[in-house]
Structure 1
Amino acid sequence: MLDPEVTKHHERLLIVDFGSQVTQLIARRLREDGIYCEIHPFNRVDAAFLVKFAPKAVILSGGPSSVYWDDAPLPDPAIFSAGVPVLGICYGQQAMMHVLGGHVEGGTSREFGRAFIEKVVEDPFLDGLFAGAGGEQVWMSHGDHVSEMASGFGVIAKSPGAPYAVIADPERRFYGTQFHPEVYHTTNGARILRNFTHGVAGFTGDWTMAAYKAEAIARIQAQVGTGRVICGLSGGVDSSVAAVLIHEAIGDQLTCVYVDHGLMRQGESEQVVGLFRDHYNIPLVHVDASDLFLGALDGVSDPEQKRKTIGRLFIEVFDEEAGKLGGADFLAQGTLYPDVIESVSVSGGPSMTIKSHHNVGGLPERMKMQLVEPLRELFKDEVRALGRELGLPESFIGRHPFPGPGLAIRIPGAVTREKADTLRKADAIYLDEIRKAGLYDEIWQAFSVLLPVNTVGVMGDVRTYEAVLALRAVTSVDGMTADYYPFTHDFLGRVATRIINEVKGVSRVVYDVTSKPPGTIEWE
């Protein structure tokens, strides 16, 4: 559970997770509507947990299981005797019916994708819906379905493939949807969730960044006291916001360490040093460790080995600099709420590793410091909102995500200083053209990849044999899924011409049109 001191003054909603890939979207939708909520695995929510958490309402997420499996994840019956409203979504609806005495069947009424529901009876849960003809568009993803409702429930909306698309027990304030209101393709999904939280459960929406800022500062002051804090700056949004927030709370008790591994974007180090040392007057140690990192990466081509090498060296350099400062009592990290959620598996087992993530997670055990993680209750968009509350310039707040290993994972194969310089120049041109076109804020992330491939070209009637550069730009909400940005051919042609003319060593430019899934956003 997250720190209750931060949230005890807010109305709180509990999301019980049954393993859905979109459970985080429920929380994001609610947070956007001013409701504080937390996600917890079903097997950690029992009567004692409910008393401690004291939710004003509960949402049961979807999931990949079937209630008739021998090891099916099921909600604790205490949820239904807590006296608070409950909403079951997809598998959550089925699990609620199963526990309360209804019946679920599998395989005879499958629905996947877009569907349209029609209203059966009036109910506050459906307020503001069905304004037009043809029903309400929702997004279905189920193989099982409710075939018999538990006592007290009635149907309030249905679809051709789901006769129990929305069910309700108004007296106990229990609701269930067979579809997913949290996903984008449910047209009025946000309104449906708001009908439950505000209409049924009586939330007022008191979760704001201004309130969070004041509470977080008070918590940092109480935790740190007169101690010293050291923070590793990456130049990204998370660590930057965390550092400014902590500095506002404790002033010069904070020292930031910025390790330049020689794989940053063009002008990045100068921007970080200028913002924190000059503008905010935050004590900052700037370490140029590019020779160390690039030397260790010489000849290393495996992407996982590159990540692990950079992570290990970062820890060693950070550890050394902390020692020079005479030690510190606390280590600050920009841990976000998705990191907290993903560290706890619904099944209790380890998650599959797609790729390692560069972080300073190995530092606390080695350095014997307590953690200060002021952003661990927040999603990425909330961190940006907090940054605005703190007065950070938009140029920092709105920056595209940048990986900890930097350009190393945008150079497939072995990394050299020459390749890094080439990629840095090309990437700067690409981002410059995106900004000139007014497209930067429309794009979640844009970057270049220097491929380990040479192709034949002709420049000034002379045969060339130089590198290929790939351009990548995606749209996304949270990075979990993404689609390529549909640049015009004129734009791509203009970028390619500039790069080939201005960056020595590149003779061909291509554009990546792969979505996520099946690809990842980064190439390594």
Structure 2
Amino acid sequence: MLDQAVRTASRADYPGGVTQTPEPPSPAHRPVLVVDFGAQYAQLIARRVREANVYSEIVPHTATVADLLAKDPAAIILSGGPSSVYATGAPFVDPALFEAGVPVLGICYGFQAMAQALGGTVAQTGQREYGGTAVQVTDAGTVLAGSPDAQTVWMSHGDAVHAAPEGFEVLATSAGSPVAAFEDRERRLFGVQWHPEVKHSPLGQKALENFLYEGAGLAPDWNPGNVIAEQVERIRAQVGDARVICGLSGGVDSSVAAALVQRAVGDQLTCVFVDHGLLRSGEAEQVEKDFVASTGVRLKVVDARDRFLRALAGHTDPETKRKIIGREFIRVFEDAAREVVAEAGEHGDEVKFLVQGTLYPDVVESGGGEGAANIKSHHNVGGLPDDLQFALVEPLRTLFKDEVRAVGLELGVPEVIVWRQPFPGPGLGIRIIGEVTAERLDVLRAADAIAREELTKAGLDRDIWQCPVVLLADVRSVGVQGDGRTYGHPVVLRPVSSEDAMTADWTRLPYDVLATISTRITNEVPEVNRVVLDVTSKPPGTIEWE
């Protein structure tokens, strides 16, 4: 039996759950591969492709032509990058890629690497181009169809293409780029020197869509409905008749993942909500009520607060804390799985699968398994123990956050859950800088509740991506409260705006709202005597402090 307190909720407790209607099978979409040459905008290119309703994935430049073709790509985009094509050790493109019959678009460095690989000339012009740059369109061709003869684009390069490869038509020029765009329509090879994926290239999205729709002949048919149909089919194929448990946090990611799996396998799914004591005020009750009411799933609630606090005692390193939380989650799930089997009876099926709400940014930041830099271990990616006893079901692994929200709405998940601000799996454990204790959690919970209440009261919930409140537990500063000297903790407000968590900027909240939050926290939370504002973008900072 579990050593934690367990209570079970069901549809009978909260009537009105979503009716489960089977989705018709749909073939998987062939991906547009974005080859990452180290550009800060590689993820943005992938997003812009998806905004055109075409599925995309990011792959490292170290992938061989065979690796790329094994993914059966519908098209390939070569991203920009910081290198010079002539630098020692610079990434290169195997010319065999262009003989594979797959449509290719080169952007910035990818454009130059394509030109060099195909026999064109790339050299220094002595005139670098950065930022807004005027280009002259000499032949619109395919990619620039519908463009005016003169337009402003966003450039960032030192080298330039001086001569296009044989068989290519020059489409545009600029002061620093004799060849600023080219194409070989017959071979479906295209390239531009500028960055069409950024908003500073006003006609950039049109150029990308021209490549996708006209150059590659793709249909804009990737949407939330397709995602649901494809994932339902894949989940059923993966799971079969086995039992499944889902680690439900109550956030949008795990909730949408659970709703997708329930759509696929119904009563084979049991959701396990672990109250690890690292939640914000009122969240445990909200999860148990709202999610069961909206979906009708069977929910097992496990009170593991003491277990997590014991495991975290004495630890201050962020990576260590993340891994401890990830490990304890899995151990609780394993205990819960045994309970599910026991409740099913002597001949109950084995629980073989664990559902997680892993997203694409989680995979990328945790190293991605393909040579990407490990920014930090997300508890459901890099933080899992080596002896994991479940096979993972991760139906959202290729999606960005805004795409997950769209899928959730399509599934009928209530807006109160879909639009909930992102909350990390490790919870407040990574918003306490220092050791996690019950007393420090109480302090942070109180400050966080005030901040959330005032942001909601000001109608700002949809204007910000999220607003972590961080307790600097190992820092104290002198203050004056009630005419007396205090030596209390500071808390940090971290309001950010983002589309997908890959990049973010701090949100310019109204001063009166900030003042109200600060005044209430320092008045109502005795242990806190200073409130500060984090005005760092991502990069260089991450959204969470740990």
Q: CA deviation at 1:244?
A: 0.8
2:57 maps to a residue whose letter is: E
Deviation readout 1:390-444 (Å, 9 max, x if unpaired): 1111121122222222112212122221221111111111111112212111111
3-state SS of the aligned residue for 1:126? coil
What is the CA distance between 1:297 and its match in structure 2?
Answer: 2.5
Residue of structure 2 in register with 1:371 after alignment: 392
Match of 2:426 among 405, 409, 415: 405
The answer to whether structure 1 residue 21 and structure 2 residue 21 are counterparts is: no
1:441 equivalenced with 2:462 (yes/no)? yes
Distance 1:313 1:35, change over 3 A: same
Equivalences for residues 378-457 of structure 1 within 5 A: 378-452=399-473, 453-457=475-479
Residue 139 of structure 1 deviates from its aligned partner by 2.0
Give distance in 2, aligned partners of 1:76 and 1:215: 33
Gaps (5+ residues) in structure 2? 1-23, 342-349
Aligned partner of residue 395 in structure 2, secondary structure: coil
- On the 8 A contact 1:18/1:42 being kept in 2, the answer is yes
- 1:250 aligns with 265
2:249: which partner in 1? 234
CA distance in 1, matches of 2:530, 2:384: 42
Tell me how far apart the structure 2 counterparts of residues 471 and 260 of structure 1 sit (CA, whole Å): 25
Mapped contact 2:140–2:146 kept (Cα < 8 A) = no
How far apart, CA to CA, are the structure 2 residues paired with 1:204 and 1:178? 25
Residue 104 of structure 1 contacts residue 145 of structure 1 at CA under 8 Å; is this kept in 2?
Answer: yes
Between the aligned partners of 1:100 and 1:119, the Cα distance in structure 2 is 23
1:337 has 2:352 as partner: no
Identity between Structure 1 and Structure 2 (%): 56
Relative to structure 1, the CA distance from residue 279 to residue 59 in structure 2 (aligned partners, 3 Å threshold; closer, same or farther) is: closer
Q: Distance in 2 between matches of 1:345 and 1:109?
A: 37
Q: Which residue of 1 aligns with 2:4?
A: none
Q: Give the TM-score normalised by the residue count of structure 2.
A: 0.86
Match of 2:19 in 1: none
Offset of residue 240 of structure 1: 1.1
Instruction: Render the CA deviation track for 1:190-214: whole Å, top value 9, x for unaligned.
Output: 1110121123333220112112212
Cα gap change, 1:461 to 1:190, in 2 (>3 Å): same
Partners of 1:364 and 1:371 within 8 A in 2: no
Question: Are the structure 2 counterparts of residues 45 and 231 from structure 1 closer, same or farther at C-alpha, using a change threshold of 3 Å?
Answer: same
Q: CA RMSD in A?
A: 2.7
- For 1:213, the equivalent position in structure 2 comes to 228
**1:296–1:373 CA distance, 2 compared to 1 (3 A):** closer
Residue 159 of structure 1 corresponds to 174
Question: What is the distance in 2 between the residues matched to 1:417 and 1:489?
Answer: 32
Alignment of structure 1 residues 36-55 onto 2, 5 Å: 36-46=55-65, 50=69, 53-55=71-73
Using a 3 Å threshold, how does the CA distance of structure 1 residues 284 and 455 change in structure 2: closer, same or farther?
same
* Equivalent pair of 1:153/1:168 in contact (CA under 8 Å): yes
What's the CA shift string for 1:38-94, capped at 9, x where partnerless?
3333443425853x5444432222233333345443333333223343211111111
| AA at the equivalent of 2:487 | Y
Q: Structure 1 stretch 419-428 or stretch 143-152: which is displaced more? A: 143-152
1:35 partnered with 2:58: no
TM-score (norm 1): 0.90
Shift of 1:220: 1.8
Which residue identity does 1:332 align to in structure 2?
V
Task: Report the Cα distance in structure 1 between the residues aligned to 2:63 and 2:398, rounded to whole angstroms.
Answer: 18
1:294-322 alpha-carbon deviations (Å, 9 max, x no partner): 23333322323322322222222222222
Indicate yes or no: 2:139 matched with 1:117: no
By relative contact order (CA 8 Å, sep 6+), the higher-ranking structure is: 2
Q: CA deviation at 1:361?
A: 6.1
Partner of 2:206: 191
Deviations 1:476-514 (A, max 9, x none): 222222221112221211111222232232222222222
Residues 337-374 of structure 1, C-alpha deviations (whole Å, 9 max, x = no match): 3455567779x65x443333212667686354333222
Q: How many residues align?
A: 514
CA distance in 1 between counterparts of 2:40 and 2:248 reads: 31
When residues 396 and 228 of structure 1 are mapped into structure 2, their CA distance, relative to the original with a 3 A threshold, is same
Is residue 73 of structure 1 aligned with residue 96 of structure 2? no
Corresponding position of 1:146: 161
How many angstroms apart in 1 are the aligned matches of 2:416 and 2:377? Answer: 28
Distance in 2 (alpha carbons) for counterparts of 1:446 and 1:6: 39
Alpha-carbon distance in structure 1 between the residues aligned to 2:431 and 2:363: 27
Residue 219 of structure 2 aligns to which amino acid in structure 1? T
Q: Distance in 2 between the 1:391 and 1:417 partners?
A: 37
Q: Distance in 1 between matches of 2:332 and 2:292?
A: 20
Q: In terms of mean alpha carbon deviation, does 69-78 or 417-426 score higher? A: 69-78
Q: Deviations over 1:148-186 (max 9, x none)?
A: 221122322222222222222334332211111112322
Provide structure 1 residue ranges, at least 5 long, that are not aligned to the other structure: none
- Cα contact 1:117–1:138 (8 A) shared by 2: yes
1:85-104 to 2 correspondences below 5 Å: 85-104=103-122
Query: How many angstroms does 1:245 deviate by?
Result: 0.8
Q: Distance in 2 between matches of 1:368 and 1:6?
A: 30
Q: How far, CA to CA, are the matches of 2:231 and 2:438 in structure 1?
A: 41
Match status 1:328 vs 2:343: no
* Matched letter for residue 86 of structure 1: V
Q: 1:481 to 1:364 in 2, by over 3 A?
A: closer
